[in-house]
Structure 1
Amino acid sequence: MHFKRHVTGLIFCFFYVVSYFTNKYVLSVLKFTYPTLFQGWQTFIGGLLLLLSGKLGLVDISGFPRSAALSWLPGSLLFVGNIYAGSRALSRLPIPFFFTLHNASEVVNCLILKLTQMERIPWMKLLSVSLLLMSAINLPRYDPQFDPGGYMWALAHLFCVGKSVWNKTSCAYRVFQTHFKSSHLSDLEQQYINYLFSVLLLAFAAHPTGDLFGALEFPFLLSPRFHSGCCASALLGFFLLLASVKLKSGLPLEHCGVWIFLSKVFATCLSPLVFNIEVNTPSFCCVFFSHVGEALLVYSESTSQVR
């Protein structure tokens, strides 16, 4: 049983790392910086594969009331904000820096819980969120290739949503999921609605944002590398979704957090081998202490569950 859990976690790690690397390759190396089209393609393929999987009985997506779908639309809007801003930020920032800023969402989560539920914050959790906050604040100061646009989009991404499928998400999306109590929608059904809404909204936004005409002038438009990268990104995103759901169903939530943390560490350590990253000692320390803070946060949450 433990072996099967480790296999599920390793599969999740694999798809997590490869998915981020593929997206980074298309966005930064090939410089396809048209998020309405890129994310619209990903969500279209993801929704199509999820629908086909449901029809074939591979996943459980039963019929749900239209009222439940309409009630979930605010969450879908936040989902679109997450993928759009995240795509913009990832195209401009190295993966380790992106994760450092992304981890700071836990600071906002902690503040929201403190204000809404008057929770007493354990000292270890307080230490962890302090490390996350200080790392994110100091990183722009010491980034040798400071890009204000990248940090602006990362901030928008941070406040929209966070860690995807399970309820351990961040900021506005987490608050919405926490207060949206419906027995009609499973995680996959919520994601299916997210996909449908994203495709429609991003398709309408492609022309006003200028992405449609910009993509027509994209130099790698007919390149096999570009086509392979886009196809791989859509498929990997779908497989990551399935691996996430499988991980959540087989492990307690705090154990899922461990695998998320390990996936980020693997991606951070491997990304300099794949992409050109300019880093100095202070920025390296920001990345390092951000991961230390996340490790302490995962440990504090696991010990609190045991108690």
Structure 2
Amino acid sequence: MYLKRPAGGLAFCLFYLASCFTNKYVLSVLKFTYPTLFQGWQTLVGGLLLHVSWKLGWVEINLCSRSEILSWLPASVLFVGIIYAGSRALSRLPIPVFLTVHNAAEVITCGFQKFVQKEQTSHLKVCSVLFLLVATVCLPLCDTQFDPNGYLWALIHLICVGAYKVFHKLWKPSSLSDLDQQYINYVFSVVLLASASHPAGDLFSALDFPFLYFYRFHSSCCASGLLGFFLMLHTVKLKSSTTSGQYAAWSFLAKVITASLSPFFFVMTANVLTISCLVISGVGEALLVYTERTGT
């Protein structure tokens, strides 16, 4: 498949890989499993850097209409659900497994388009979505490292991602750009996660974290915040400079690279059935990319 804008696309893949690996390292290797603090820190860094970039004139953000900001808040709630549940799931599941469940969010968006909006859906797209669904349903049954809590959080993450995409399709902004939406997401997330850190018990539990004063924990947290911000910028830039099909192809490539390299850095036990589920999911997403490219 021919991919346009190789420099921007490869940079996107690099930041996707680095961000995913850094988050996995903090969550699984260092075992910093306090999502209100970790995700609150990431969104704080992202929000501050985006605000500074805006004030320096490097990016353009327009938040003129209060009504449009308020109308976007339901999406911001879903965004918090995505990053919170995703953090919980990634701390317990191998990266390829997490990405396989994450991909199944397309089942929700496709189902909404077909059964609610009554849109015409090609047989190839239905087939691709079925591949994603079958892989996600069968994976827990085959997983030798089965973790019920991990899969539960991954399911919540999947639902939030699907609902976020559906809301984005239904909501037709007149002035809010992708950066405007992300800025609102950052501000809302920081406020909500900071408020929830004490009731959730993360605020004081983190004081007993064994690596709290170690440089590798500090450097990893700093890297996660910076990488998340740059990944967001490159995602917005790639979306605006390519077609939806081209962006889908680059996103698919980034996931394949990340999933393929992760077993060399993080522990993962797999059997033939598990690998088969991962391959089926990959085939399903590849078909989805093809339908997006061809418009079928």
Q: Which residue of 1 aligns with 2:261?
A: 270
> CA 1:3–1:56 in structure 2 vs 1: closer, same or farther (change >3 Å)?
farther
Quote the sequence identity (%).
60
Q: How many Å separate the matches in 2 of 1:98 and 1:59?
A: 32
Q: Which residue of 2 aligns with 1:6?
A: 6
Residue in structure 1 matching 2:237, options 246, 259, 267: 246
Residue in structure 2 matching 1:195, options 168, 186, 197: 186
Could you tell me which runs of 5 or more consecutive residues in structure 1 were left unpaired when the two chains were aligned. Answer: 162-170
Q: How many Å separate the matches in 1 of 2:237 and 2:173?
A: 21
Residue type of the partner of 1:47? G
Q: Which residue of 2 aligns with 1:226?
A: 217
Pairwise CA distance, 1:67:
2.0
What's the secondary structure of 1:60's corresponding residue? Answer: coil
Residue type of the partner of 2:232? L
Asked whether the equivalents of residues 132 and 280 of structure 2 are also in contact (C-alpha less than 8 Å), the reply is yes
1:214 equivalent to 2:205? Answer yes
Q: Which residue of 1 aligns with 2:65?
A: 65
Deviations 1:124-178 (A, max 9, x none): 11221111111100100011011000000000000112xxxxxxxxx21112112
Aligned length: 295
Q: How many Å separate the matches in 1 of 2:80 and 2:64?
A: 21
Structure-1-length-normalised TM-score: 0.94
Asked whether the equivalents of residues 62 and 175 of structure 2 are also in contact (C-alpha less than 8 Å), the reply is no
Structure-2-length-normalised TM-score: 0.97
Could you tell me which runs of 5 or more consecutive residues in structure 2 were left unpaired when the two chains were aligned. Answer: none
Deviations 1:232-288 (A, max 9, x none): 000000000110111011100111000000000000110011111111110011011
Pairwise CA distance, 1:65:
2.0
> CA 1:72–1:3 in structure 2 vs 1: closer, same or farther (change >3 Å)?
closer
Residue in structure 2 matching 1:300, options 263, 285, 291: 291
Pairwise CA distance, 1:4:
7.4
> CA 1:68–1:147 in structure 2 vs 1: closer, same or farther (change >3 Å)?
same
Residue type of the partner of 1:7? A
What's the secondary structure of 2:191's corresponding residue? Answer: helix
Q: How many Å separate the matches in 2 of 1:181 and 1:122?
A: 25
Q: How many Å separate the matches in 1 of 2:91 and 2:277?
A: 20
Pairwise CA distance, 1:119:
2.1
> CA 1:93–1:3 in structure 2 vs 1: closer, same or farther (change >3 Å)?
closer
1:11-50 maps to which residues of 2 (within 5 A)?
11-50=11-50
Q: Which residue of 2 aligns with 1:87?
A: 87
Pairwise CA distance, 1:118:
1.4
Pairwise CA distance, 1:184:
2.4
Residue type of the partner of 1:206? S
Pairwise CA distance, 1:301:
1.8
Asked whether the equivalents of residues 47 and 183 of structure 2 are also in contact (C-alpha less than 8 Å), the reply is yes
